[in-house]
Structure 1
Amino acid sequence: MNISVVIPLLNEQESLNELYNWIAKVMQSNSFSYEIIFIDDGSSDDSWATIQSLSKSDPNVKGIRFLRNYGKSQALHAGFEAASGDVIITMDADLQDNPEEIPELYKMITEEQYDLVSGWKKKRYDSVIAKNLPSKLFNAAARRTSGVKLHDFNCGLKAYKNKVIKNIDVHGEMHRYIPVLAKNAGFAKIGEKVVLHQARKYGKTKFGMSRFINGFLDLVTIWFMSRFGKRPMHFFGLIGTLLFLVGFCFSLYLGIDKLFIETKGRLISQRPEFYIALTAMILGTQFFLAGFIGEIMLTTKRDKRRYNVSQKISL
């Protein structure tokens, strides 16, 4: 199979038929063999009924339905597990991503041998204050922190080699950072393509300003995990050791001062250095233990599914 199109969605019933027809037209005109995998992330409208109807009329349409809303990352994870195409295309279900971009993205993966190609919505139709400006700030921070030079980390329209999506773990809210996860997994050839952005035709956006706050927090997480995720003792143990040494040095100073220098008869507990030493040694011990526990958790880690599937169609 040439292409798997993975589409996570939440309450997008109005756009699904139009999106399907558009994708099918592009695939058929380019003679691609394909599958379209819709992941219903706990929709409260009739999105699942529409997916069922589409699957009955076209065996290339497949579906996964979550019991409740788990988030876009979990939806993509489920879609990636089910995808069987050589090239995987992800896109949003709100018609803001243009399926006409698929053939060129496919060529960049198969002919130019990119591991991953990310869309760049250079011209956007979103609110400047609500989305455009925060998005630019977010992307600038992501580029500097991750080292991946993309202009639009949030663009849902991306293309991947099959081996990329089978070797990364998308969880939490990490869907924004799939290129970073891919880079950390060893897939270094990451490209970018300017894609058309279209104004939302139906409904309202499901994302608010909180996504940018969460995005920055996730960026800190992925920065930490990429550097210390496999050896947490290198981070926590180092800080713990330094703090403990600081506390020990203060304690040593207090002991020498009490035995050989101090003549005023003050109790050690009455001196501020005592509390600095005590606090530093306690914190150092806690940091060291955190690193030790992290190492134990890594050795006993087991894969665990982070969502519950209600129904599947032809998977």
Structure 2
Amino acid sequence: MASRLDTAEPIELSLVVPLFNEEESVGPLIDRITAAMASYPAIWELLLIDDGSTDATIANAREALNRPGLNLKIIALQRNFGQTAAMQAGINQAQGRLIATLDGDLQNDPKDIPTMVAELERRELDLLVGWRKNRQDGLLLRKIPSFIANRLIGRITGVRLHDYGCSLKIYRGSVIKQVKLMGEMHRFIPAWVAGVVPSSRIGEMPVTHHARQHGVSKYGISRTFRVILDLLSVMFFMRFKARPGHFFGSLGLGLGALSSIILFYLFIDKFLMGNDIGTRPLFMIGVMLFLSAVQMITTGILAEMIARTYYREDTAVSYIIREVYEGDPQHT
């Protein structure tokens, strides 16, 4: 087993697992990861990110800190920041050349990780996404909305995958650390990665999926509506992140052109035809379109200024670490 942190050898693989109120799952999860990685030929580490749990998740996880053959670090966040922020915290703390992420609810199978690592290297990919081909979820509340969402995301982002929502993924550390995750954007990670590498370096492979054994799901049907809103944000950032003025400016020019046509028509109607236009709804529409055009163009200018500030100093984080637990150096 090559799981211990050896100062003479770099860490090859970091396993990042966000947790929130998984007191019953965290012990079996560590056991499964340890068993799955027992024959892994390189140095690896396990990072558990507690996202403000209110149960015994941290206490149960700390029982494994000094387990022989396990390089475990527990990162406790100050409060519940959400899965995306917890995942970002783990990625920032990870030291491995490769980084694997998986859920803490025992639905992802750690046994797939060594196979996925080998597949990523064989296909020379920067990101390999797990595909829960045989999902153990409810048809109406999970499978159908997920199918629709995956098709919609693939069409809009251009990165066509069967399962965007699978947390089991393998990344090259140097690539994923170029991506900043905010809000609830963890489900769109392949699209964000496609912003820094060609989509041809993103792949997928079928993985095992288990039904939830403990606790309750953190997601419901309401997530579908949030996905739609997040997807609009992803589409905007993918296409106009570095040039938001083009987006707002295009809208402004279009509204301005329509306003000009309407006002020019009314000008002809007033001064050449002698008709009264002061009370006509078309006149108010033309004026409102003109004001909207001015607003869109000025918004684009402000967005360009904000974008330039963003690129000069992009150091903000979406989480706060309360404490980090590590094992006794004598055991590690």
Asked if structure 2 preserves the Cα contact closer than 8 Å seen for 1:87 and 1:109, the reply is: no
List per-residue Cα deviations over 1:77-112 (Å, max 9, x = no partner).
111101111111100011111111011111122232
Alignment of 1:225 with 2:237, yes or no, is yes
* Segment drifting more, 252-261 vs 112-121: 252-261
Which residue identity lines up with residue 276 of structure 1 in the other structure? I
Distance 2:262 2:122 in 1: 64
Asked if structure 2 preserves the Cα contact closer than 8 Å seen for 1:115 and 1:187, the reply is: no
**CA displacement at 1:200 relative to structure 2:** 1.1
- Counterpart in the other structure of 1:282: 291
Distance 1:275 1:74 in 2: 46
SS at match of 1:167: coil
* Segment drifting more, 147-156 vs 51-60: 51-60
SS at match of 2:29: helix
SS at match of 1:6: strand
Asked if structure 2 preserves the Cα contact closer than 8 Å seen for 1:153 and 1:176, the reply is: yes
Alignment of 1:203 with 2:212, yes or no, is no
Identity between Structure 1 and Structure 2 (%): 36
- Counterpart in the other structure of 1:298: 307
**CA displacement at 1:31 relative to structure 2:** 2.9
Of 268, 273, 281, 2:282 maps to 273
Of 145, 163, 180, 1:152 maps to 163
Distance 1:112 1:251 in 2: 59
Runs of 4 or more off by more than 6 Å in structure 1? none
- Counterpart in the other structure of 2:258: 246
Asked if structure 2 preserves the Cα contact closer than 8 Å seen for 1:95 and 1:198, the reply is: yes
Distance 1:194 1:206 in 2: 24
- Counterpart in the other structure of 1:21: 31
**CA displacement at 1:115 relative to structure 2:** 0.8
Distance 1:254 1:273 in 2: 8
Classify 1:199/1:273 alpha carbon distance in 2 versus 1 (closer, same or farther; 3 Å).
closer
- Counterpart in the other structure of 1:70: 81
Distance 1:299 1:141 in 2: 31
Alignment of 1:255 with 2:267, yes or no, is yes
Asked if structure 2 preserves the Cα contact closer than 8 Å seen for 1:27 and 1:33, the reply is: no
* Segment drifting more, 288-297 vs 107-116: 107-116
List per-residue Cα deviations over 1:147-175 (Å, max 9, x = no partner).
11210100011111111211111111110
Distance 1:207 1:118 in 2: 20
Gaps in structure 1 of 5+ consecutive residues: none
RMSD: 1.6
Of 161, 176, 179, 2:187 maps to 176
- In terms of fraction of residues, the more helix-rich structure is 1
Distance 2:152 2:21 in 1: 31
